[in-house]
Amino acid sequence: MKLGQATIKDIARELNVSSSTVSRALKDYPGISFETKKKVKDLAEKLNYRPNAIALSLRKSKSFTIGVIIPEVVHFFFSTVISGIEEVAFKNGYNVILCQTNEKLEREINCVETMLSNQIDGLLVSYSKETTDFSHFINLIDMEIPVVFFDRIPNIKNAVNVTVNDFSGGYQATKHLIDQGYRRIAHLAGPSNLAISKKRKEGYLAALSDSGISIDENLIVECPSANEKESFEICLRLFKDPINRPDAIFAHHDIVAAGAMMAIKSLGLRIPEDIGVVGFSNWQFASMIDPPLTSVLQPGIQIGEKATKILLEMIQNKDINHQEISNVVLDTELLIRKSSVKNY
Amino acid sequence: MKLGQATIKDIARELNVSSSTVSRALKDYPGISFETKKKVKDLAEKLNYRPNAIALSLRKSKSFTIGVIIPEVVHFFFSTVISGIEEVAFKNGYNVILCQTNEKLEREINCVETMLSNQIDGLLVSYSKETTDFSHFINLIDMEIPVVFFDRIPNIKNAVNVTVNDFSGGYQATKHLIDQGYRRIAHLAGPSNLAISKKRKEGYLAALSDSGISIDENLIVECPSANEKESFEICLRLFKDPINRPDAIFAHHDIVAAGAMMAIKSLGLRIPEDIGVVGFSNWQFASMIDPPLTSVLQPGIQIGEKATKILLEMIQNKDINHQEISNVVLDTELLIRKSSVKNY
């Protein structure tokens, strides 16, 4: 795929008309004046515009198939998103092609190529933890292939993003712990290259700050791989020092919270009497563990549904105003359970 | 789709040649003698054989796409199977189209139609709890579309099935509880129309019988919807009678086991001291709940990988001996944790 050649958007900008007008003019569609067609075609020739074969074939033959690229299928949150995607796609007569990256950039690039060669009508993406260069997605957007990012959203131009309010989720979780009387609240943070991790941490910091509690950097630890073993080990270290010991944990992920709970119990400390714990995402097991885990509900099914509805609008109506839908933020909700409430 | 018309298999049987020979003769492929071609074509005409348009297009244009029909995506076991499927498909250059039935027969039939209209090269299926008539799948097999069933396998002719040894899983679980000194072992069973439920229950009954423990029908209760609320309510009833109270639970599903554990705790009974608990499938949370849950490991990723490898062989090599691969049974493994061991 060659980047840097003139796109329909360049021509549209230069002539101050819509991309759709340029596209239809180049294809000699009816409803466009002769003058406009001539202006568009002349400029296209001048700018050496060549329609991309894959993009063209996409436009010609609708495949009624949308692609989904996610890090992992065996992941409660992503499985709920897939379920929401599949429901909306099915109701609208679209198929869902699924590709998992296993958190690898190389595999992700491969997935994008697979999707292209399958002439998908549009793509839903949550990118891998390794991804910091988004050119494989930018190419798609430049080719005018509808793309909607969800949960893990990139900071790129013209991206359409659906996510939850991770800042407010982190704020709610931390404020709740403060209201319960906890003061030395540790944060087990997510990988720093993900916006969701940053925002959850910002919410945590803001809640502390709003309550006049000073930030202790020793209490902020990254748990990037988000498995319970990693967080178990990290928490054993964190709780080793009885003087500076945290009295609560806000984990960026329920699995991380579960690992913390195992560490706390293994040290003979009680939850919530000695240490309060709050997780994030409300995994299925959160209500089944002992004590039940307070968690920030991240509505996966709704994220999948919303992202798919937007994608289908983009597919069916090319003239849609992307600015209006470029950042959809769904609300989180704190589900309070025994792990964080001393007098439950 | 019209059933009952002559198929390639009918012609092959009559002439005592392979289906592949008939197929190639009808298409005038090279490498088939003139005599054979004539015999095949004459018989095809006599039997009023008409190639099925969809089946033909499937044969002509390989789509390098396989379909997956499952009851639910938000289900730990199925998500592990999908992950295994996706891995093998991806490595072999095949795409995966996903369709969930939400346990509804009508939706399942709809999914099959979607798959057909998408010219999938083959299909992987775990059918819904509502499905007792399998004609929508039998049609596919008659059309010579490769189909592999996994986990929930039907009792139909020529089906290729991949499953785990549910009998031995049920036997291992129950025998382990007996070895730990438990005697009044209740079984929270799955829906009776699923072979997996029957086999797990048969394993339970055989283990009791082999140990000379008489069967008490009051201790066998169906928990068909497999959610923790249902099993919580059922267990409260089961434990109401202090005389006939069970001293252990073998649940057909970890979520059911988790509901049972919540009920046992809510009654002030201790696990494993008063009541031992064993689940099935080894969901991710099994090792994280308190006490950690003994469970029968059902290797979802391997099931997905094995089923997909077989499907791809069937797609790539039509002459494969289906009898040899018709029933692949993978081993289960009992993962012993504290919930069933008094002196852990």
What pLDDT sits at residue A51? Answer: 61
Based on its alpha-carbon atoms, the radius of gyration of chain A, rounded to whole angstroms, reads 24
Q: Do B100 and A86 touch (CB under 8 A)?
A: yes
Backbone phi, then psi, for A122, in 5-degree steps? -175, 170
> How many Cβ contacts (< 8 angstroms) between chains A and B?
101
How far is Cα B111 from Cα B133, in angstroms, rounded to an integer? Answer: 15
Please name which of B93, B98, B71 lies closest in space to residue B83, comparing C-alpha atoms.
B98
Query: Quick one: average pLDDT of A145-164?
Result: 91
Classify domain A166-299+333-340 at the CATH superfamily level: Response regulator (3.40.50.2300)
Check: CB of residue A312 under 8 Å from CB of residue A96: no
CA angle B266, B269, B270 (to 5 degrees): 115
What pLDDT sits at residue B177? Answer: 98
How far is Cα B65 from Cα A177, in angstroms, rounded to an integer? Answer: 49
Convert B72-91 to b/e letters by CB count within 10 Å (16 or more is b): bbbbbbbbbbbbbbbbbbbe
The secondary structure of A79-111 as a DSSP string is HHHHHHHHHHHHHTT-EEEEEE-TT-HHHHHHH
Shortest alpha-carbon distance between residue B326 and chain A (Å): 27
Q: Do A97 and B265 touch (CB under 8 A)?
A: no
pTM of the model: 0.74
The DSSP H or E segment spanning A201 is helix A195-210
Please name which of B52, B64, B51 lies closest in space to residue B120, comparing C-alpha atoms.
B64
| Percent over 70 (pLDDT), chain A | 92
Check: CB of residue B184 under 8 Å from CB of residue B247: yes
Instruction: Locate B265 and state its tokens.
Output: 């705790």
Per-residue confidence of chain B (344 residues) as pLDDT tens digits? 233 457 788 888 889 888 878 887 887 776 778 888 888 888 887 877 766 544 444 444 577 889 999 999 888 899 999 999 999 998 998 889 889 999 999 999 989 988 887 778 999 999 999 999 999 999 998 888 999 999 999 988 878 999 999 999 999 999 999 999 999 999 999 998 888 999 999 999 999 999 999 999 999 999 988 888 999 999 999 998 778 899 999 999 999 999 999 999 999 999 999 999 999 999 988 988 889 999 999 999 999 999 999 999 999 886 665 555 688 999 999 999 999 999 88
Instruction: Locate A40 and state its tokens.
Output: 């568009």
| Chain A contact probe: residue of B111, B261, B285 with most A CBs at under 10 A | B285
| Chain A contact probe: residue of B288, B293, B308, B339 with most A CBs at under 10 A | B288
- In A, minimum Cα distance to B300 occurs at A74
What pLDDT sits at residue A53? Answer: 44
Question: Can you tell me which residue has the tokens 């609560």?
Answer: A248
Q: Do B83 and A73 touch (CB under 8 A)?
A: yes
Instruction: Locate A262 and state its tokens.
Output: 């195992």
Q: A150: pLDDT confidence band, cut at 50, 70 and 90?
A: very high
pLDDT tens per residue across span A229-262: 999 999 999 998 777 899 999 999 999 999 999 9
Domain ranges across chain B? 8-51, 62-163+300-329, 166-299+333-340
Whether domain A62-163+300-329 has CATH 3.40.50.300: no
What pLDDT sits at residue B32? Answer: 78
Please name which of B33, B34, B40 lies closest in space to residue B17, comparing C-alpha atoms.
B40
How far is Cα B129 from Cα B121, in angstroms, rounded to an integer? Answer: 26
What pLDDT sits at residue A33? Answer: 82
What pLDDT sits at residue A320? Answer: 62
Backbone phi, then psi, for B136, in 5-degree steps? -65, -30
- The yes-or-no answer to whether B8-51 and B166-299+333-340 have a common fold is no
How far is Cα A339 from Cα A277, in angstroms, rounded to an integer? Answer: 5
Backbone phi, then psi, for B311, in 5-degree steps? -60, -45
Listing from the earlier edge strand, what are the strands of the sheet with A95-100?
A327-330, A160-164, A147-150, A122-125, A65-70, A95-100, B95-100, B65-70, B122-125, B147-150, B160-164, B327-330
CA angle A231, A235, A237 (to 5 degrees): 125
How far is Cα B278 from Cα B170, in angstroms, rounded to an integer? Answer: 10
For A282, the 3-state DSSP assignment is coil
CB neighbour list of residue A229: distance below 8 Å, 6 or more residues apart: A259
Residues from chain A contacting residue B96 (CB–CB below 8 Å): 97-99
Lowest mean pLDDT among A185-189, A194-198, B31-35, B336-340: B31-35
What pLDDT sits at residue B58? Answer: 43
Shortest alpha-carbon distance between residue B155 and chain A (Å): 29
Strands A248-251 and A185-189 turn out to be parallel
Q: Do A288 and B290 touch (CB under 8 A)?
A: no
pLDDT higher at B270 or A54? B270
What pLDDT sits at residue A310? Answer: 94
How far is Cα B344 from Cα B334, in angstroms, rounded to an integer? Answer: 16
How far is Cα A298 from Cα A247, in angstroms, rounded to an integer? Answer: 25
CA dihedral A108, A121, A64, B307 (to 10 degrees): -10
| Chain B contact probe: residue of A64, A74, A77, A262 with most B CBs at under 10 A | A74
The answer to whether the complex's ipTM is over 0.85 is no
pLDDT tens per residue across span A311-341: 999 998 766 655 556 889 999 999 999 999 9
* Runs of H (alpha helix) within A276-318: 300-316
Shortest alpha-carbon distance between residue B292 and chain A (Å): 10
| Chain A contact probe: residue of B284, B287, B337 with most A CBs at under 10 A | B284
Instruction: Locate B326 and state its tokens.
Output: 């018709």
Number of Cβ within 10 Å of residue A281's Cβ equals 25
pLDDT tens per residue across span A270-324: 999 999 999 999 998 898 888 999 999 999 999 999 999 999 999 987 666 555 5
Instruction: Locate B106 and state its tokens.
Output: 């009508």
Shortest alpha-carbon distance between residue B263 and chain A (Å): 11
Rank A7-16, A56-65, A300-309, B88-97 by mean pLDDT and report only the highest.
Answer: A300-309
Backbone phi, then psi, for B175, in 5-degree steps? -60, -40
Interface of chain A toward chain B, CB-CB under 8 angstroms? 65, 72-76, 79-80, 82-83, 86, 90, 95-100, 110, 114, 118, 228, 255, 258, 261-262, 265, 283-285, 287-290, 301
CA dihedral A175, A181, A183, A187 (to 10 degrees): -50
The secondary structure of B63-91 as a DSSP string is --EEEEEES-SSSHHHHHHHHHHHHHHHH
Shortest alpha-carbon distance between residue B283 and chain A (Å): 10
Interface of chain B toward chain A, CB-CB under 8 angstroms? 65, 72-76, 79-80, 82-83, 86, 90, 95-100, 110, 114, 118, 228, 255, 258, 261-262, 265, 283-285, 287-290, 301
Q: What's the CATH number of domain A8-51, 1.10.260.40, 1.20.58.1610, 1.10.287.3510, 3.40.1260.10?
A: 1.10.260.40
CA dihedral A114, A117, A122, A128 (to 10 degrees): 20
How far is Cα B227 from Cα A255, in angstroms, rounded to an integer? Answer: 21
Residues from chain B contacting residue A287 (CB–CB below 8 Å): 228
B271: DSSP letter: T
**How far is residue B343 from each of residues B48, B292, B338, measured CA to CA in Å?**
72, 14, 8
